[in-house]
C-alpha cells in the first residue's frame, strides 16, 4: 500500500512540475559558458524558471557573451519579465583580432558560419533549459545588430522576432531575402559609428562599407509587403517611431536623439514590441 501511494505522489509531481529542464542546465550559466560543437554562449535564467521564451542577444564588435551576462541591470530587465537571456560569443575574425560575427560584407575570411552556430546555440539551450524555440527574440547591437539583419534575411524561420540596434546590412547589400519577418530597428539619429546613411570603414583590410540603413529598410518593406507610407507615427521626448502595416511580418523603426548606443528603456521597447505581435 505504501509503495502504491509513493507511486501516485511521484506521478502527480511529474504531472504538475511543468516543462522538463535538462540537468545539463546546471553545468553552465552566468560566467560559466555553455559549449556547443563550434562555439560557446552564456545564459541567464529567471527565478523559478521552468522553460519559456528567450532573448538571444548578440554583442557588438570586440564584445563577448560573458560581458553581456555580467551586466546585471541589462540582464535583469529581461529576466524580470520571464525571459531567459542567451548571449553567444563571437570569434576573433583573425588570430589576435577582436571578436566579430560572420556578416556578409565582401570579406569572407571569418572562421565560422555564425548562422549555423546560432542554430546550434538555440538547439542546445532548448535541450539544456527548456527554451521555447517558437518564442525567441533575436537581438543585437552594432555588428551584432548587423548579424540580426543577416539572420532575418537568410533564416527568417529562426526567430519569432528580430530587434537590431545600430547595425544593418553591409555592402554588397542583399537585394532579396528568404521570407518575411517581424523586424524592429532602433538607431541613434546622431550615430557616427554606424551612420544612418552608411559609410566606408577607412583603412579596413578589404575596404568594407556599411550600407545605407534607409535602403535596407526599403528592402524590408518590399520583403514584408509593406506600403511605402507608415501606418503609425509617434513622437515622444527624444524618441520617434514609425510603424508599417505589412502584408506579411511587420516592420517598426525607432530613432532616438543619441549616438551609437542603446537608448534608455531599450529592453522594454523591444519586449513590448515583441509581445505586441501576438495581440
Q: What is the pLDDT of residue 206?
A: 72
Q: What is the pLDDT of residue 19?
A: 40
The CA distances from residue 14 to 8, 17, 128, 236, 252, in Å, are: 10, 5, 18, 49, 42
| Cα distance between residue 273 and residue 252, in whole Å | 9
pLDDT > 90: percent of the chain: 82
| Position 83 pLDDT exceeds 90 | yes
pLDDT > 70: percent of the chain: 90
Q: What is the pLDDT of residue 26?
A: 52
> 93-103, pLDDT tens digit by residue?
989 999 999 99
Q: What is the pLDDT of residue 106?
A: 83
For range 150-177, the mean pLDDT: 96
For range 46-70, the mean pLDDT: 97
- In the chain, helix, strand, coil percent, each to 5? 30, 25, 45
| Position 182 pLDDT exceeds 90 | yes
| Position 20 pLDDT exceeds 60 | no
| Position 186 pLDDT exceeds 60 | yes
Q: What is the pLDDT of residue 5?
A: 38
> 220-241, pLDDT tens digit by residue?
999 999 999 999 999 988 899 9
* Counts for the chain of helices (H) and strands (E), in that order: 7, 14
pLDDT band with cut points at 50, 70 and 90 for residue 202: confident
Please, which residues have CB within 8 angstroms of residue 36's CB and are 6 or more apart in sequence? 117, 120, 121, 124
Tell me which CATH code domain 31-276 carries: 3.40.50.1820
| Position 119 pLDDT exceeds 70 | yes
pLDDT band with cut points at 50, 70 and 90 for residue 25: low
pLDDT band with cut points at 50, 70 and 90 for residue 14: very low
pTM beyond 0.85: the answer is yes
For range 23-42, the mean pLDDT: 85
Closest by CA position to 169, among listed 193, 194, 186? 194
Residue with cell 560573458: 66
Residues 79 and 46 sit within 8 Å (Cβ to Cβ): yes
Q: What is the pLDDT of residue 203?
A: 76
Residue with cell 553567444: 88
Q: What is the pLDDT of residue 104?
A: 92
Amino acid at each position: 500500500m505504501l509503495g502504491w501511494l509513493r507511486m501516485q505522489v511521484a506521478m502527480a509531481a511529474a504531472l504538475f512540475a511543468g516543462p522538463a529542464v535538462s540537468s545539463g542546465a546546471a553545468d553552465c550559466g552566468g560566467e560559466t559558458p555553455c559549449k556547443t560543437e563550434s562555439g560557446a554562449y552564456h545564459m541567464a535564467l529567471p527565478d523559478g524558471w521552468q522553460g519559456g521564451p528567450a532573448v538571444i542577444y548578440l554583442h557588438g564588435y570586440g564584445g563577448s557573451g560573458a560581458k553581456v551576462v555580467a551586466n546585471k541591470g541589462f540582464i535583469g530587465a529581461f529576466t524580470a519579465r520571464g525571459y531567459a537571456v542567451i548571449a553567444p560569443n563571437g570569434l576573433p575574425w583573425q588570430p589576435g583580432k577582436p571578436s566579430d560575427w560572420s556578416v556578409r560584407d565582401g570579406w569572407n575570411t571569418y572562421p565560422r558560419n555564425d548562422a549555423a552556430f546560432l542554430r546550434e546555440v538555440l538547439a542546445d539551450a532548448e535541450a539544456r533549459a527548456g527554451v521555447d524555440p517558437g518564442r525567441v527574440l533575436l537581438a543585437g547591437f552594432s555588428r551584432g545588430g548587423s548579424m540580426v539583419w543577416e539572420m532575418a534575411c537568410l533564416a527568417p524561420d529562426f526567430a519569432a522576432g528580430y530587434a537590431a540596434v545600430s547595425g544593418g546590412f553591409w555592402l554588397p547589400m542583399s537585394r532579396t531575402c528568404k521570407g518575411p519577418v517581424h523586424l524592429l530597428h532602433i538607431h541613434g539619429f546622431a550615430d557616427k559609428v554606424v551612420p544612418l546613411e552608411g559609410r566606408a570603414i577607412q583603412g579596413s583590410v578589404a575596404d568594407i562599407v556599411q550600407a545605407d540603413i534607409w535602403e535596407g529598410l526599403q528592402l524590408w518593406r518590399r520583403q514584408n509587403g509593406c506600403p511605402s507610407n507608415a501606418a503609425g507615427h509617434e513622437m515622444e521626448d527624444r524618441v520617434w517611431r514609425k510603424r508599417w502595416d505589412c502584408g506579411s511580418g511587420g516592420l517598426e523603426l525607432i530613432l532616438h536623439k543619441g549616438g551609437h548606443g542603446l537608448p534608455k528603456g531599450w529592453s522594454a521597447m523591444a519586449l513590448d514590441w515583441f509581445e505586441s505581435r501576438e495581440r
